[in-house]
Structure 1
Amino acid sequence: MGNKIVTIGFFSLNLFITFALGEYYSKTRPSTPKQEMVTNLHFFFHDTLTASNPSAVLIAKPTLTGRDNNSSPTPFGSLLAIDDPLTVGPDPNSEKIGNARGMYVSSGQHVPTLTMYVDFGFTSGEFNGTSISVFSRNPITEKKRELAVVGGRGRFRMARGVALLNTYFVNLTNGNAIVEYNVTLYHY
């Protein structure tokens, strides 16, 4: 009987401590104002679907859309994983500054569109170890378009901004593309 009382007493004490100290949030308080900074980035994104070592691979394809035999390399409903190199220039052999890792889904039934979630991680220069995150719709048939920058890590923690895209090269048969990125970031 004594063990039951000790157990119940311990359980009650534990429950009291949990309720008293176990808040899932802290009081809201004003943040210390910091100087907001603006950074502009310029680089090229190389998306290669066909090669001996592709940087974008199909991980799921549509089977119920009736478009299985579509001649597009990314028919509506296709999901691809990417690990695309980022370079200083449009030449794939130009200086590599990082990788774009994430995925995109072909999300336009009538107009070729991708919805992208990609982490652009920089591996050299001033922003080595830093990244930006993009989650946005990409209407790929438009030569110029913009994507939303929704966050970042490292020096770009809490970044927001816009990436202006310009298709530098695209092969409509195999889907390989080189895209120029001009990114404006607001961060602290």
Structure 2
Amino acid sequence: MMKLTVEKYRFMILFIILVIISQSALASRNSMRHREPCKRLQLYYHDILFRGTDAANATSAKVANQTALGDFKFGMLVVFDDPITADNHLLSPPVARAQGFYFYNKKDDYNAWFAYTLVFNSTQHKGTISIMGADLMAEESRDFSVVGGTGDFFMTRGIVTIQTDTFEGAYYFRLKMDIKLFECY
């Protein structure tokens, strides 16, 4: 009688282990499946660097000069409060503001690192989206991480794919942002 109880016990343990393994395999398969974004926005980011005489039009300013290491602005830090528009026209009404900073962090090529918040305060959206990542300027498109948000974008996560839409020397550039949010609450 004792042997039968031990065999039942072993069978029950084996059965539980198989159920746990199959559930974890199903969960990992579902998490690796490509998902569609729960929210998607396409916006344009406009940056006008202050040149010393254009305070009324400037939306960003250099707060730390570049170093003497290399010819690619290494060490330069820029703080910005840039307009975000729904189309690529600078004078279109802004749908948000991008507030944050970027700095050049490579001494043998142009490369920057961004950290900013999109601040929405319109009839369409209220809240913020926090974004950060490396801007590998030589690439045609680059991805930044969406690391959170507030309001309509509470605790969101996702990817912002950016492309340089235009630039005029070191003083004006426009980025096309394709924002794909995968966690929406």
Same-fold call, TM cutoff 0.5: yes
The answer to whether the aligner puts 1:182 opposite 2:175 as a matched pair is: no
Partners of 1:158 and 1:112 lie apart in 2 by 32
Cα RMSD between the aligned structures? 1.7
Q: State the alpha-carbon separation in 1 of the partners of residues 179 and 69 from structure 2.
A: 38
Equivalence map 1:58-137=2 (5 Å) = 58-63=62-67, 65-67=68-70, 70=71, 75-128=73-126, 130-137=127-134
The answer on 1:45 being equivalent to 2:50 is no
Q: Deviations over 1:24-60 (max 9, x none)?
A: xxxxxxxxxxxxx811011100011146131110001
C-alpha distance in 2, partners of 1:138/1:174?
15
Q: In the TM superposition, what whole-angstrom CA distance separates every residue of 1:56-77 from its partner, at most 9, and x where no partner exists?
A: 10001134x344xx4x6xx010
State how far apart, in whole Å, the 1-side matches of 2:144 and 2:108 are. Answer: 20
For structure 2, the 5+ residue unaligned runs are 1-36
Letter of the 2:42 partner, please give it. Answer: H
The two structures have a TM-score, normalised by structure 1, of 0.71
CA contact (8 A) 1:143 1:166 kept: yes
Contact 1:80/1:105, CA 8 A, preserved across alignment: yes
4+ residue runs over 4 A deviation: none
Establish whether residue 54 from structure 1 lines up as the match of residue 50 from structure 2: no
Residue ranges of structure 1 left out of the alignment (5+ in a row): 1-36
Supply the distance in 2 between the matched residues of 1:149 and 1:103 (Cα, whole angstroms): 15
TM-score relative to the length of structure 2 = 0.72
Using a 3 Å threshold, how does the CA distance of structure 1 residues 122 and 61 change in structure 2: closer, same or farther?
same
Distance 1:109 1:158, change over 3 A: same
Question: Aligned AA for 2:45?
Answer: F
- How many aligned positions are there? 144
